[in-house]
Amino acid sequence: MIVVKIGGSAITDKSAFRKPKLEVIDGIARDIAEVKKRIILVHGAGSFGHPLVVKYKLKEVEDLKGIAEAHLSCKDLNMLVCRAMVKWGLKPYPIHPFSNFRVEGGKIVFDKTLILNSMKKDFIPVLHGDIVFNSDLNRFVILSGDDITIELAKVFRVGKVGFATDVDGVYVDGKLADVVTSKDLEKIGSSVGIDVTGGMRSKVEKILRSGVKARIFNVSRLKDFLMCKDVGTLISEIL
Ligand code: IPE
């Protein structure tokens, strides 16, 4: 099984509000259709999510209208992804964390059977960064697609985990790295634009902390990644 997260910056134009990169979305669906592998797809929110989190100050206040707006907007992007998949003959199974996931006891809680059953029927689960209820805090919080991806990788013991982005990998001291471990963290460059769930360094840090081995690569290399080629940067403490 493969879990791959497509970053919001890869499938949306982060400099404009709710602007999808339709050709990229189409290419992703085509790549997945061509390789015919068992995958779980997760995508980010990009300019369909982050600007609304900022507008409604969702990190600071629990604005229910803003929460609904942000969720629906993420869902709109999910719809574009799923429609492209159907166009290429795939069977997407959208799972919206807003109504299917929660955070409890510091953990992401969700119905694993729902995902497995859909895969048994040859569906491809398609999840996304969203807003979810946090029972510990008794409020809604933002849950990034990165966190979902890492959790899925751990729960399903996934051997192949990837993060497709709009950059070629992780830059250490300004140079594209083949492998990154925790000793490189300080030297990782940060991303530009609004990102309410953190930039490249925090993404790498999260992956390393989770113990999951993952690759960060350019979305243009998605097909190569799915075909088990060594694309982008490997994030791993142990080689
Ligand atoms: C963020 O999801 C979710 C919201 C902003 C509601 P991600 O953190 O996975 O999105 P990207 O990949 O950074 O755009």
Domain containing residue 161: CATH number: 3.40.1160.10
| Ligand 1 and 196: CB distance under 6 A | yes
Contact predicate 8/50, CB 8 Å: yes
Q: Considering the chain, what percentage of its residues have pLDDT values greater than 90?
A: 92
**Under DSSP, is residue 2 helix (H, G, I), strand (E, B) or coil?**
strand
For range 50-76, the mean pLDDT = 98
Read off the pLDDT of residues 167-212 as tens digits, 9 standing for 90 and up.
999 999 889 999 999 999 989 976 555 566 668 999 999 999 999 9
pLDDT at 154: 97
Band (238; pLDDT cuts 50, 70, 90): confident
Q: Which atom of ligand 1 approaches the CA of 47 most closely?
A: 14
| Ligand 1 and 80: CB distance under 6 A | no
Q: What residue's CA is closest to ligand 1, atom 3? A: 129
191 Cα to the center of ligand 1, angstroms? 14
pLDDT at 189: 72
- Which of 71, 99, 191, 197 maximizes ligand 1 atoms within 8 Å of its Cβ, making it the mutation to test the pocket? 197
pLDDT at 239: 64
Read off the pLDDT of residues 37-52 as tens digits, 9 standing for 90 and up.
999 999 999 999 999 9
90 Cα to the center of ligand 1, angstroms? 24
CA angle at residue 25 from 165 to 150, to 5 degrees?
45
Residue pointed to by tokens 């189409």: 26
- Which of 12, 25, 41, 50 maximizes ligand 1 atoms within 8 Å of its Cβ, making it the mutation to test the pocket? 50
Provide the whole-model pTM. Answer: 0.96
Q: Which atom of ligand 1 approaches the CA of 148 most closely?
A: 9
Domain count along the chain = 1
104 Cα to the center of ligand 1, angstroms? 20
CA separation for the pair 162, 227 (Å, rounded): 12
CA angle at residue 159 from 158 to 165, to 5 degrees?
85
**Under DSSP, is residue 26 helix (H, G, I), strand (E, B) or coil?**
helix
